[in-house]
Structure 1
Amino acid sequence: MATDGTGRRPGTGTDPASEPASDAVRRLDDPDFPALTMSQAAALLGVQAAFLRSLDGSGVLQPHRSPGGHRRYSRHQLLLAARLRGLLDEGHTLASAEVILGLQDELADARATSERLRDTVDRLRADRDDGDTAAG
């Protein structure tokens, strides 16, 4: 997960409403594109808008802001909010839920790195074995 050093993803810095329609449609595949309004995001998550406002107010989730100050959410932010909601529903405080998410993300990154390293080792062994066979 790309973060701004605090465990949060930075905003995209562009206003979706100011883009040509064709550019905006292409960006819908980008998980960080702030395509959803607060009411759309709340409806998709099955939460009240106040929940999303509280995440923004606490600094845990920083939605993109339109020039008019309206919050816009990306798919990535919705996933983060859903994960937080699940931990809060389990009885965790917001602070502990944020720490848990950070640790889960670190663990996922470490597992992905380990898998890449395993693949590299396997490939190097196969190359070595192929070289030994060709030389022998």
Structure 2
Amino acid sequence: MLEVEVNLKSSSAAGTPLTIGQLSRRAGIAASALRFYEAEGLLAGTRSAGGHRQYPRHALRRVAFIRAAQNVGLTLPQIKAALATLPDSRTPTKADWARLSAGWAPLLDARIAALQQLRERLTGCIGCGCLSLKACALYNPGDQACSQGSGARLLRIETQR
């Protein structure tokens, strides 16, 4: 028991890197997600002499930034672009978050407007029950192929060539 406590204390030292398992537990995210973030260039780690992934302690803040940006609705390429604006790929600060999030306001406004429009359409559909492929704006929004009739028209056209 004492050995475990000593190991936990030594791994929390400021200069000691975190293993992928430690980062996973601390960040509340699967190790596979951390490997994916690393493969996508969102997170950088090093390898120990034994070949194990290691991350600097500030990777916790970087993962928190990634998760918060995902919760806002940003895609991984958008998050990567935002992180690329930071000098030396450092961990985002509160000021960085304020600057970046101000740029995301139009994106959020557009999503809010789209959700409000969806809510209005949904209210109009209550009781309808049609789920028509030709008419239902919720079940089949923006359908342009319905004017050609029902069935797999596009598939049949391509197979005749």
Counterparts of 2:94 and 2:78 in 1: how far apart (Å)? Answer: 16
Once the two structures are aligned, what percentage of the paired residues are identical?
35
Give 1:24-63 correspondences, 5 Å limit. Answer: 28-30=13-15, 33-34=16-17, 36-63=18-45
Counterpart of 1:94 in structure 2: which amino acid? L
Give structure 1 stretches of 5+ with no counterpart.
1-24, 110-136
The aligned residue for residue 91 of structure 1 is 73
Runs of 4 or more off by more than 4 Å in structure 1? 102-107
Counterparts of 2:53 and 2:61 in 1: how far apart (Å)? Answer: 16
Structure with the bigger RCO (C-alpha within 8 Å, sep 6+) is 1
**Secondary structure of 1:72's match?**
strand
CA deviations on 1:24-66 (whole Å, 9 max, x unpaired) are x6x9334xx42x1111101111111111000111122111111
Structure 1 47/107 Cα, relative in aligned 2: closer, same or farther at 3 Å?
closer
Number of residue pairs matched by the alignment: 81
Q: CA RMSD in A?
A: 2.7
Give structure 2 stretches of 5+ with no counterpart.
1-9, 87-91, 97-161
